[in-house]
C-alpha cells in the first residue's frame, strides 16, 4: 500500500468562474442546457448560449479527467456527439457542423497532494515521501447540483472513492468542483481570463492539496 504519512480525509472545493467570450461586446444571451449521453449514465453536460451574432458552446465532461471545451461559433452551428465513440475517446466523436471561430479547452490532469508539515504552502521536492500525484480519473464523479437562471449556469460535481489499482493508492475523502458560467461581460480581453477565482478550502492547517 502506498500512502502518505498522516494524510487525513481531504475535502476540497475548487471553484471556476467560466466567463463568457463575447467578441461583439455586451449581449443578451439565451441559455440552453442539455445532458449529453444520459442513457449511458455519464456526467457529460452541454450548455449553449445564443446571442444575436454568435453562439458560445460549453461542453463539460467528468467521465475521465474533468475537462471543459469552450467554442465560439456562428448562431447556425451545432455540436454533435457520438456517445459510444466519445466513451472510447475516438477522434471526431465531438464535431461542430461548421468550423468554430475560437476554441479553448481545459483538462484537470493531476492533483498534487503533499504534507505541508511546516505550513508554508511550498512543496518541498527534497522530501518525496510527503508528495503524491493523484489522477482525477480514478475518482468516482457524481453530479450534486445544477442551477440555471436567465444569465448564469452553475454545476457542482463531487469526486469520491479514489482508487488507483496500478499504484495501489486509495483515498476516502472527497473533491468538490463547481463550474459557473455568466452570460455577458463588457470586454473580450477580460473574457480570455475565463478560469480564475480558484478557491482551495483547507480543512487541516498542515495538509493541503494543490492543482
* Rounded alpha-carbon distances, angstroms, from residue 42 to 45, 91, 116: 9, 19, 35
CB 169 within 8 A of CB 2: yes
Tell me if residue 136 falls in helix, strand or coil: helix
Q: What is the pLDDT of residue 22?
A: 42
CB 191 within 8 A of CB 181: no
Q: What is the pTM of this model?
A: 0.68
Q: What is the pLDDT of residue 208?
A: 41
H helical segments located in the chain: 83-87, 188-191
Q: What is the pLDDT of residue 139?
A: 92
What are the helix and strand counts (H, E) for the chain? Answer: 2, 14
- Report, as ranges of residue numbers, the positions in the chain whose pLDDT lies below 50: 1-25, 185-211
Q: What is the pLDDT of residue 200?
A: 35
Amino acid at each position: 500500500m502506498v500512502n502518505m504519512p498522516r494524510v487525513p480525509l481531504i475535502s476540497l472545493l475548487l471553484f471556476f468562474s467560466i466567463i463568457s467570450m463575447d467578441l461583439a461586446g455586451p449581449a443578451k444571451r439565451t441559455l440552453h442546457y442539455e445532458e449529453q449521453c444520459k442513457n449511458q449514465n455519464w456526467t457529460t453536460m452541454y450548455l449553449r448560449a445564443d446571442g444575436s451574432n454568435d453562439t458560445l458552446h460549453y461542453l463539460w465532461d467528468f467521465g475521465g479527467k474533468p475537462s471543459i471545451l469552450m467554442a465560439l461559433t456562428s448562431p447556425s452551428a451545432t455540436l454533435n456527439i457520438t456517445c459510444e465513440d466519445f466513451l472510447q475517446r475516438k477522434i471526431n466523436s465531438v464535431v461542430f457542423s461548421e468550423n468554430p471561430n475560437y476554441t479553448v479547452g481545459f483538462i484537470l490532469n493531476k492533483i498534487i497532494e503533499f504534507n505541508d508539515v511546516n505550513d508554508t504552502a511550498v512543496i518541498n521536492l527534497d522530501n518525496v515521501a510527503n508528495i503524491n500525484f493523484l489522477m482525477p480519473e480514478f475518482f468516482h464523479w457524481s453530479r450534486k447540483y445544477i442551477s440555471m437562471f436567465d444569465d448564469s449556469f452553475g454545476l457542482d460535481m463531487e469526486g469520491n472513492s479514489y482508487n488507483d489499482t496500478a499504484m495501489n493508492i486509495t483515498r476516502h475523502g472527497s473533491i468538490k468542483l463547481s463550474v459557473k458560467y455568466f452570460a455577458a461581460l463588457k470586454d473580450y480581453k477580460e473574457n480570455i481570463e475565463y478560469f480564475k477565482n480558484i478557491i482551495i478550502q483547507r480543512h487541516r492547517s498542515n495538509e493541503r492539496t494543490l492543482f
